[in-house]
Structure 1
Amino acid sequence: MRISIYLPILAGVLFAAIGQVALKAGADGKQALVEFFNPWIVFGLVCYGVGTLLWIFSLSQTRLTVVYPFTALTFVLVYVAGIVVFGEHIGFAQWLGVALILGGLYLVAVVQ
């Protein structure tokens, strides 16, 4: 598999993760519907849009069974962002889950 196949996939994953973190930042502490119309929410939606376009491009370039497992990487990146950006704490079981996701991604998507 060419490395050029993985670049748009990874970029799409990164944009999706950034979008999710931006949506959390924009939604945090808000209660009224009008409060959800803010720059963080708009930024998050734009990131999701860019990520979706990269995802569609990736699907046009290779098999679904290569592209789809990378959705799991989005969960890992958002989890790490929760720790780094929002100061959330996770325990051993959660770290083990992240390790299992990464191991599974390696087996499913990388090992051919």
Structure 2
Amino acid sequence: MAKRPPPQSVDEAPIEAVTRLGSRIRLARLRRKLRQEDLAAKIGRTRATVIAMERGSSTTEIGVYASALWALGLLQELDLVADPGLDRDGQALSFSVSDKRVRLRRPLNNKF
């Protein structure tokens, strides 16, 4: 594969990620010697939807991508997406002392 330059804008990064996912699904389908029609039948979609998914169309439902991964036996890898255990930035922020809520001390009111 040819090296691509980094995305130029924020909008390009998600599109490239979906494009890579589609091409990886296509490669997995080809390695299993499945036709697009076969995959479409397994996931209950049309061949046109499979083509759009493999091209990385951002308008294709995420459920189509998940169904294709299931049909190819790769759904368990989807569990790694946004896994809280792998989110180092999120973990660091949750343990950050500076972001904890601070409450002002109020005098105790013993009047009942």
Give the TM-score normalised by structure 2: 0.29
Higher relative contact order (CA 8 A, sep 6+): 1
TM-score by length of 1: 0.29
Which protein has the bigger helix share? 1
